[in-house]
Amino acid sequence: MGFLSDALSRIKPSATIVITQKARDLKAQGRDVISLSVGEPDFDTPDNIKEAAMAAIRRGETKYTPVSGIVPLREAIARKFKRENGLDYKPSQTIVGTGGKQVIYNALLATLNPGDEVIVPAPYWVSYPEMVGLCGGTPVFVDCTMEHNFKLQPDALERAITPKTKWLLLNSPSNPTGAAYTREEMKAITDVLMRHPHVWVLTDDMYEHLTYGDFEFVTPAQVEPGLYDRTLTMNGVSKAYAMTGWRIGYAAGPEHLIKAMDFVQGQQTSGACSIAQWAAVEALDGTQEHLPRFKKAFEERRDLVVSMLNQSKYIKCPMPEGAFYVYPSCAEAMGKTAPSGKVLKTDEDFVSELLEAEGVAAVHGSAFGLGPNFRISYATSNAALEDACNRIQRFCGSLR
């Protein structure tokens, strides 16, 4: 009888973490590596947020916090949802976790029983199916192809719903594709859900503020108020406020679900870091003047990367609406031979040979449930992106 839990056999390691670590190891060996594998803004946390954290330390805000979060932060979250999404939540309908990942995990742990199904549109963030599996549920994948701009189609959602479906896990803008749903596209999805009152929606809005051009972000309960009582709207400060290391995610939803998640969190981690919570109050309530600067930089980078990738042999790269990822197809490179002599049979072969030949770290699309594609994070400098795209062009040009 083995010592380790059978649950571990149901999950895979995070491909993004594995590849990022491999890039770090190669750099440590002196290799010239450009890592485009990590989903983290290269900007520093805005000064007003850092100042709020330091003020909290000086005030002695260094004790345990309530499990669901400090009251000022839960009030700020309620104000944010009202101000930005037109959603009315009481502070008691909100919860704060150690990052968005914990919030999602707590919701699944609090609601899933063996046999319960969770619809996960693919490509998906690598952690979604693993969290569902760890919580005893069954992920049901629905392919969202490049032909449909990687977005869930209403008829495909309808076909995937069964009496066992408990949740739809929806991420817009998406990691890994950057695809985001317009109001009309979101309404088509919520119309399907309205016909199936046993299905809840867990929406991951972490990239809400990172949309480009005149794109208007919407979230399901905002588009369809009839879903308010069966929607958990999750968000966080990591991406829009460059606060990845502060580890603060939050959500709002029906009070009985929030209480169940509080119950789980109380026996798991208890409250999130007190200082990070006070910093998050300032992030949500304070000036948002950094956002246009962040968005302008990311939009320029997106346009640069999409243009250069589309000039590469064998690559087709759609233009995403948001986040800081592109998800190009490398289908035309399959069957070609890399400089090492290896024949590329999968997108994993493609990114592995790209890293070896040119020192560019990207994540293979099959890790996100749909290939042959690969994910590039453009949350780094224009100079690094231009260099990386030149290397990708050179690598693709070397394939025979």
Q: Which DSSP symbol is given to 303?
A: H
- Beta sheet of 363-364, edge-to-edge order: 325-326, 374-377, 363-364
Cα gap 362→35, rounded to integer Å: 7
pLDDT in tens, 342-368: 999 999 999 999 999 999 999 999 999
What's the whole-number mean pLDDT along residues 54-69? 98
Q: 38 near 58, Cβ under 8 Å?
A: no
Q: 272 near 66, Cβ under 8 Å?
A: no
pLDDT in tens, 111-122: 999 999 999 999
Q: 177 near 367, Cβ under 8 Å?
A: no
Question: If residue 236 lies in a helix (H) or strand (E), which one and from where to where?
Answer: strand 231-236
- Same fold for the domain at 6-44+290-398 and the one at 62-285? no
pLDDT-based confidence at 38, cuts 50/70/90?
A: confident
pLDDT in tens, 276-294: 999 999 999 999 999 999 9
pLDDT higher than threshold 90 for residue 24: no
| Pairing state between β 117-122 and 138-143 | parallel
pLDDT at 1: 64
What's the whole-number mean pLDDT along residues 237-257? 98
CATH code 3.90.1150.10 for 6-44+290-398:
yes
What's the whole-number mean pLDDT along residues 12-24? 80
Secondary structure (DSSP) of 123-180: S--THHHHHHHHTT-EEEEEE--GGGTT---HHHHHHH--TTEEEEEEESS-TTT---
pLDDT higher than threshold 80 for residue 14: no
Average pLDDT, the chain: 96
Residues in the chain: 400
pLDDT higher than threshold 80 for residue 176: yes
CATH class of 62-285: alpha beta
pLDDT higher than threshold 90 for residue 81: yes
Cα gap 303→32, rounded to integer Å: 25
Q: Burial of 317 by CB count in 10 Å (0-12 exposed, 13-18 middle, 19+ buried)?
A: buried
Percentage of residues of the chain with pLDDT beyond 90: 92
pLDDT in tens, 40-56: 899 999 999 999 999 99
Domain ranges of the chain: 6-44+290-398, 62-285
pLDDT higher than threshold 80 for residue 239: yes
Cα gap 70→78, rounded to integer Å: 13
Torsions phi, psi for 324 (to 5 deg): -135, 50
CA 381 to centroid of chain Cα atoms: 21
pLDDT-based confidence at 17, cuts 50/70/90?
A: confident
pLDDT at 316: 98
